[in-house]
Amino acid sequence: MTNKIETAKTDTVLSVRDLRTEFRGDRGPVRVLDDISFDVGRGKIVGLVGESGSGKSMTALSLMGLVPKPQGHVSATRMDLDGTDLAKLSPDGLRRIRGRDISMVFQEPMTSLNPVRKVWEQVGEPLAIHQGLKRRDIRARVLEMFEMVGIPDPKARLDAYPHQLSGGLRQRAMIAMGLICEPKLLIADEPTTALDVTTQAQILRLMQDLRDRVGTSIILITHDLGIIAEMCDEVNVMYAGQIIEQANVFDLFERPSHPYTRGLLASIPKATEQRSSHRMPSIPGMVPNLAKLPPGCRFSPRCGDAMPICLQKEPGLADLGRGHNARCWLHLPHDATTQREAS
- Which residue ranges make up the site for ligand ATP (CB under 6 A)? 23, 32, 50, 52-58, 68, 223, 290
- Residues found in the chain: 343
Residue 303 and residue 243: Cα distance in Å, rounded? Answer: 16
Contact call for residues 247 and 325 (beta carbons, < 8 A): yes
C-beta of 52 vs 114, nearer to ligand ATP: 52
Stretch that binds Mg ion, among 14-22, 51-59, 259-267, 293-301 (CB under 5 A): 51-59
Which residue's C-beta sits nearest to Mg ion? 57
Residue 290 contact among ligand ATP, Mg ion, none, beta carbon within 5 to 8 Å by kind = ligand ATP
Is the peptide bond preceding residue 162 cis, with omega within 30 degrees of 0? no
Residue 315 and residue 297: Cα distance in Å, rounded? Answer: 6
C-beta of 142 vs 219, nearer to ligand ATP: 219
Does residue 242 bind Mg ion (CB under 5 A)?
A: no
Shortest distance, position 189 Cβ to ligand ATP, whole Å = 7
Residue 68 contact among ligand ATP, Mg ion, none, beta carbon within 5 to 8 Å by kind = ligand ATP
C-beta of 231 vs 328, nearer to Mg ion: 231
Shortest distance, position 277 Cβ to ligand ATP, whole Å = 13
Shortest distance, position 234 Cβ to Mg ion, whole Å = 19
C-beta of 76 vs 148, nearer to ligand ATP: 76
Residue 224 and residue 177: Cα distance in Å, rounded? Answer: 24
Residue 231 and residue 236: Cα distance in Å, rounded? Answer: 13
The separation between the first and the last C-alpha atoms of the chain, rounded to the nearest angstrom, is 59
Does residue 21 bind Mg ion (CB under 5 A)?
A: no
Residue 34 and residue 317: Cα distance in Å, rounded? Answer: 12
Shortest distance, position 21 Cβ to Mg ion, whole Å = 13
Residue 326 contact among ligand ATP, Mg ion, none, beta carbon within 5 to 8 Å by kind = none
- Total residues contacting Mg ion by CB under 5 A comes to 2
Stretch that binds Mg ion, among 2-10, 49-57, 75-83, 293-301 (CB under 5 A): 49-57
Q: Are strands 217-222 and 45-49 parallel, antiparallel or unpaired?
A: parallel
**Contacts (CB under 5 A) with Mg ion, residues 104-143:** none
Shortest distance, position 140 Cβ to ligand ATP, whole Å = 36
C-beta of 68 vs 132, nearer to ligand ATP: 68
Among 15, 57, 217, 236, binds Mg ion (CB under 5 A): 57
**Contacts (CB under 5 A) with Mg ion, residues 322-341:** none
Shortest distance, position 60 Cβ to Mg ion, whole Å = 8
Residue 161 contact among ligand ATP, Mg ion, none, beta carbon within 5 to 8 Å by kind = none
Shortest distance, position 53 Cβ to ligand ATP, whole Å = 4
Residue 240 contact among ligand ATP, Mg ion, none, beta carbon within 5 to 8 Å by kind = none
C-beta of 49 vs 79, nearer to Mg ion: 49
List residues near Mg ion by CB under 5 A: 56-57
